[in-house]
Amino acid sequence: MVRSFDEKVIEMYPDVLDFGNLETLQVNVGNRCNQVCRHCHLNAGPRGDKMMGKGVMIKIIDFLKAHPHLTLDITGGSPELNKHFRFLVEGTAKIVSRVMVRTNFTVFFEEGMEGLPEFYREHGVVVIGSLPCYLRENVNKQRGEGVYDKSIKALKRLNELGYGDTLELDLVYNPVGVHLPPQQKELEQDYKKYVMENYGIRFNNLFTIVNAPLGRFKTMLDSSGEYEKYMRLLEDSYNPRAALNIMCRNLVSVDYRGVLYNCDFNQVVDLPIRDEHARVMTIDDLEELIGEGFRIETGHHCYCCTAGSGSSCTGAIA
């Protein structure tokens, strides 16, 4: 039986689950994706129908106008498949300090997605792309046949436009199997050496992310009888230093309806941020929320962020 994450953390750091200062607004614009990945915590796919409308995006833009120091982190699914995606980027790129988009690279080749790399360059977007391994066999095993070659083609085009040099291009690694990522810095060196020597590709940073035991990845664990084993691995690998740096202390996540969460994972398990009266908070309440502070909502899945070197949307944290 996995111990309560709250109990585990607060016995050493009583205040660590109190929200700190808002630094990043993460916006999940929908669960539609052109891939069906085994590790996906959202069960995202081509039939995803939970898509953010323009009305919610306008509220997000208005909030960010009052907080230009923040980072905007746009995610999905494949966020580019939201029909209002470019509206959100265009409305925020010049008003916040940093706009990041989490892509899967293969979406560049979908119908209607022509010119995406050029669009990103025009608006100075930080591109964070998922490439779960630098070897073709492992990528295609996790993401589907042909994904690797399309990803390499997309990376080359981004390099041609200045990404990996004057514009930031980061890659994301997720373990293919039921284990924790290796050391981030060492793996980054391996990635950079391999993709440069074999394809002439350059990028800035590699982020290693622990797979969350949610969504399609949890289904895979359940079907293989490895869920309990994986949860024990996460709990046994708990790192107190990582607990001090969990991203939910400085990040708020917004779902497609405008409901607020402590992270994207909490969206999956329906753990929204609530006020003292248990009322669910939305984008309309965000100004009030960050002024008053609140307690972070947690569950067993939170162990994925404190296991080993820790994990966040920008990689290892300890």
For 44-61, write each residue's pLDDT tens digit: 989 999 999 999 999 999
* Cα distance between residue 231 and residue 227, in whole Å: 6
Residue 124: pLDDT band (50, 70, 90) is very high
Is residue 122 situated within a structural domain?
Answer: yes
Q: Write out pLDDT tens, residues 219-253.
A: 999 999 999 999 999 999 999 999 999 999 999 99
- Stated as kind and residue range, the H or E segment containing 196 is helix 184-199
Is residue 189 situated within a structural domain?
Answer: yes
The domain of 183 spans 21-225+244-297
Does position 145 have pLDDT exceeding 90, yes or no? no
**Average confidence (pLDDT) over 273-280:** 93
Is residue 305 situated within a structural domain?
Answer: no
Q: What pTM, to 2 d.p., does this model score?
A: 0.96
Residue 39: pLDDT band (50, 70, 90) is confident
Q: Count Cβ neighbours within 10 Å for each residue of 22-49 and write b for 16 or more, e otherwise.
A: bebbbbbbbbbbbbebbbbbbbbbeebe
Is residue 15 situated within a structural domain?
Answer: no
Is residue 130 situated within a structural domain?
Answer: yes
Chain center to CA of 108:
19
We report the CATH number of the domain holding residue 48 as: 3.20.20.70
Write phi, then psi, for 129 (nearest 5 degrees): -115, 140
Is residue 107 situated within a structural domain?
Answer: yes
Is residue 314 situated within a structural domain?
Answer: no
Residue 1: pLDDT band (50, 70, 90) is confident
Q: How many helices (H) and strands (E) does the chain have?
A: 12, 8
**Average confidence (pLDDT) over 57-79:** 98
Residue 100, helix vs strand vs coil: strand
Instruction: Give the total number of structural domains in the chain.
Output: 1
* Cα distance between residue 64 and residue 247, in whole Å: 19
Is residue 125 situated within a structural domain?
Answer: yes
Q: Which residues pair with 28 in a beta bridge?
A: 75
Structure tokens at 93: 């790129």
**Average confidence (pLDDT) over 144-167:** 95
